[in-house]
Amino acid sequence: MQKLFLALSFLVFSMQASFAHGAGCACNALRPTAIGGPIITIPAYTMPKGTFSIGYGLNYLNNHRLNQKQILKVLKADEHADDNYGSLNQSLSMAWGASDDLNFFVTMPFNIAYDFREVHDGIEDLGNSIGFGDMTILAQYRFLNLSKTNLALLGGIKLPTGKTHVKSNTGETFEALNNPGSGSFDPLFGFALSRPVGSFGLDFNFLYKLATQGSQDTDIGDVANYNFAISYAVNHDHNKEFDHKHKHQKQKKLLAKIFPQHLFGKHLSWDLILELNTNWEAKPEQNNIKDNNHGGTSVFLSPGIRLAVDDNFVYNFGLGFPIIEDLNGEQGGTDLQLYTGFAMSF
């Protein structure tokens, strides 16, 4: 089931790679959107040469609004702040195994950030910011595959393909930070580490986006993402990378009812996943002036589940709960994020 890994790994990248920057809080710095090995974390495993995959991912983020006390602080300081109720981001992704150790991923997001408010000399309702985001191309090169331990380098670029002139309810263009696209070429780099331990899989990745100046003379801020995940294979094992072969073992009746191994003649493989996702976002800067009410650090605890059907289709679902939010200035923060997606490999 190594081919299935493609369906797993490229979709996680599908929403992460969009690096959504529109909601004004650090939790939006890296938006996990779908499938990976496990779900959000990018694993070091690579798919076999010649494997091709396509998929769809969806991420919903629900935000707090600025409260009255925060609004008064912003007004008294004569600063600027904005927030929105949340966002719904979708992405289409493709992945290709150029070799057994080199994979390429391409992702195109469509971003919906709704019900923006701007606080500056009062409160102004700006409405929704909707449009295609920036395309991202990422390469993954596995340079170590030793005794089940895998290490891979990540590198790529975010291209300025997204919409940068969305109009608000006032008829003015949204700030660069709140548009679907940034208008900038942003390099990406990082690494991934993976190791199976019996029926468990351990994965870690680091990915950094180096922001450059884009539309409206704005640098929307660098972004760093740290992810750690542990996954448990219910009726298969992780002993051979992502070769999730069925054990065809007898399970306890309750476990077998909840996670059946076969349905309508199809082989089913299940993974229970728990991740710790840390997102950091720098303060954006426009005309050499930093915005003190954007950016910061958020840590999410993210349980999820993945279902693989035969060797070429995978579906996942997960939730993200903020357990730490250290945001710059006055921001609403996040209530919850939900991510789901599916992929097919060929």
Please write the tens of the pLDDT for every residue from 138-197: 999 999 998 789 999 999 999 999 999 999 999 999 999 999 999 999 999 999 999 998
Of the candidates 121, 294, 325, the residue with the CA atom closest to the CA atom of residue 219: 294
Choose the weakest-confidence range: 8-17, 225-234, 301-310. Answer: 8-17
Mean pLDDT for the stretch of residues 57-70:
92
Q: How far is CA 45 from CA 29, 169, 289, in A?
A: 25, 46, 42
Q: Are strands 123-132 and 136-146 parallel, antiparallel or unpaired?
A: unpaired
Of the candidates 131, 86, 87, 92, the residue with the CA atom closest to the CA atom of residue 13: 92
Give the pLDDT confidence score for residue 251 in this predicted structure.
55
Secondary structure of the chain as H, E, C letters: CHHHHHHHHHHHHHHHCCCCCCCCCHHHCCCCCCCCCCCCCCCCCCCCCCCEEEEEEEEEEEECCCCHHHHHHHHHCCCCEEECCEEEEEEEEEEEECCCCEEEEEEEEEEEEEEEEEECCCEEEEEEEEEECCCEEEEEEEEEEECCEEEEEEEEEECCCCCCCCECCCCCECCHHHCCCCCCCEEEEEEEEEEEECCEEEEEEEEEECCCCCHHHEECCCEEEEEEEEEEECCECCCCCCCCCECCCCCCHHHHHHCCCEECCEEEEEEEEEEEEEEEECCCEECCEECCCCCEEEEEEEEEEEEEECCCEEEEEEEEEEEEEEECCCCCCEEEEEEEEEEEEC
Of the candidates 22, 18, 42, the residue with the CA atom closest to the CA atom of residue 31: 18
- The string of pLDDT tens digits covering residues 137-147 is 999 999 999 87
* Model confidence band, residue 254 (pLDDT cutoffs 50, 70, 90): low
Mean pLDDT for the stretch of residues 90-107:
92
Domain 2-345: which CATH number of 3.10.450.230, 3.40.47.10, 2.40.128.130, 3.30.300.30: 2.40.128.130
Mean pLDDT for the stretch of residues 104-124:
92
Instruction: Please give the residue that has the higher pLDDT: either 128 or 37.
Output: 128
Residue 62 token pair: 């629900």
Phi then psi dihedrals of residue 339, to 5 deg: -140, 145
CA distance 292 to 322: 21
Query: Count of residues for the chain?
Result: 346
The domain segmentation of the chain, as residue ranges, is: 2-345
CA distance 120 to 75: 6
